[in-house]
């Protein structure tokens, strides 16, 4: 009878691991103490990283974040995007008054590959997306060699 329970227990352990991961994810999204609304939530924006022949392009989705509140830095070949967002929504009607607030900090760190020229990096913002362009150093760019027919 004990052997029949063993597969069930293994399933419980897997579910417990999943539950812990979901709780960690929720805690990172909402903050350490969501009960009183005073905690400063932390969130990680979605980031796309693309490599072309000439550059690395990093796109961070930061809807509602003012570009002046975004800090982009490179130190020891690590690109860091950080900043904050504060939002307040207020709604007044005849029978109620509702105010909702969100305040959160974000931070993303991306290790740049060898050959990235951080000194020539640029950052632009449009439509809630910050685009960071890091050109490749000339020696890191691929070289095409034409194939010549043998005489």
Q: Is residue 36 part of a domain?
A: no
From CA 123, how far away is CA 70, in angstroms rounded? Answer: 10
Task: Give per-residue pLDDT as tens, 127-151.
Answer: 989 999 999 988 877 788 889 898 8
Question: Alpha helix (H) ranges present in the chain?
Answer: 2-30
My answer on whether 26 and 49 are in the same domain is no
Tell me if 7 is assigned to some domain. Answer: yes
Q: Which domain holds residue 1?
A: 1-30
Residue 68 has pLDDT above 70, yes or no: yes
Q: Is residue 79 part of a domain?
A: yes
Which residues face 70 on adjacent strands? 83
Residues 32-44: tens digit of each pLDDT: 444 444 444 456 7
Instruction: Give residue for tokens 């020891």.
Output: 76
**Bridge pairing between strands 129-135 and 122-126:** antiparallel
Asked if 3 and 63 sit in the same domain, the reply is no
Domain assignment present for 148: no
Separation CA 62–CA 65 (nearest Å): 6
- Give the tokens for residue 75: 């130190």
Contacts of residue 11, defined as CB under 8 A and 6 or more positions apart, other chains included, come to none
């Amino acid at each position: 009878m004990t052997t029949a329970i063993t597969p069930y227990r293994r399933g419980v352990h897997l579910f417990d691991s999943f539950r812990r991961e979901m709780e960690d994810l929720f805690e990172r999204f909402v903050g350490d103490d969501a009960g009183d609304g005073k905690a400063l939530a932390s969130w990680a924006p979605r980031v796309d990283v693309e490599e072309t022949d000439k550059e690395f392009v990093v796109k961070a989705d930061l809807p509602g974040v003012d570009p002046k509140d975004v800090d982009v830095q490179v130190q020891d070949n690590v690109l860091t995007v950080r900043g904050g967002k504060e939002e307040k929504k207020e709604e007044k009607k005849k029978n109620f008054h509702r105010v909702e607030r969100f305040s959160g900090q974000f931070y993303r760190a991306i290790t740049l590959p060898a050959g990235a020229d951080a000194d020539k990096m640029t950052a632009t913002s449009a439509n809630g997306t910050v685009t960071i362009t890091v050109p490749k150093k000339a020696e890191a760019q691929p070289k095409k060699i034409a194939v010549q027919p043998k005489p």
